[in-house]
Copies of this chain bind each other. A is one copy, B any other.
């Protein structure tokens, strides 16, 4: 067990969140820390230089990214061991979320070094907060694998989970991933597509996965009323009670049909029927026997 405190040996490793688009999304303390440290380890020094220039900060930058290798990590650890502070930043958002920063944090923490978070912008929380569909508990999935068994398993797991999920996707792959999500989760499951968050053309579109997949496909074909394949996508899959409590034109009957469809989807994704009925009953307030019984389903 390592308890790092102000008596820790060596320098302080500041894990500093930076803007995800709008350069105004930097905190007062991040500016202060980036100015005070002797060295900043940055995913892309040119990107970080733009942020520093904006705030008149002249701190030295060094490159540290996914392909830097163990030698660069060792050099940064030597810097910290010498007693000098270091700030770790990525191109955008909070380090150690979908990026290599966690290796450095883990290594310095293993030496009982002091790691200090400087919280700030992140795409995952901006998407959760502004979409309003993730629900109280959710999973962060990062990027899905592009193909193969692991992709299918990850999709099935998201479908079987009644919690919300946040997925990142590149613009040129978003339409196919949304189509796969609609197939796996069912086209009625609510979701949101967040693009270019905090930027000039920020866009948050909410709807069913089926509608969103169709709109992304139209956008990928260049149709003007589609969702354009531009900017990184943060896709938020809604939590299940949002499905089941959305009132359709038939009110209760639509609720029941939607809830039963949800049970079927969970079963198709590998959840035992009894457990699936229990989960959906808990989320919808509908009686479990109405979801689980032997009566025919449409």
Give A residues with C-beta under 8 Å from B: 1-5, 15, 17, 20, 22, 24-29, 32, 94-98, 101-102, 105-106, 109, 115-142, 163, 197-198, 202-208, 211-212, 215, 227
What is the chain B residue whose CB lies nearest that of A141? B137
- From B115, B126, B204, A4 is in contact (CB under 8 Å) with B204
Main secondary structure of the interface of A (DSSP, over half): mixed
CA distance A127 to B122 in the complex (A): 13
Q: Does A132 contact B102, Cβ atoms closer than 8 Å?
A: yes
Q: Does B119 contact A126, Cβ atoms closer than 8 Å?
A: yes
Q: Which of the listed residues A95, A128, A129 has the most CB atoms from chain B within 10 Å of its own CB?
A: A129
- From B101, B128, B206, A97 is in contact (CB under 8 Å) with B128
Supply 5 A–B pairs (Cβ within 8 Å), ascending by A: A3-B227, A25-B29, A96-B128, A97-B128, A115-B132
* Chain B residues with CB below 8 A from A126, complex form: 94, 117, 119
CA distance A204 to B130 in the complex (A): 29
Q: Does B115 contact A204, Cβ atoms closer than 8 Å?
A: yes
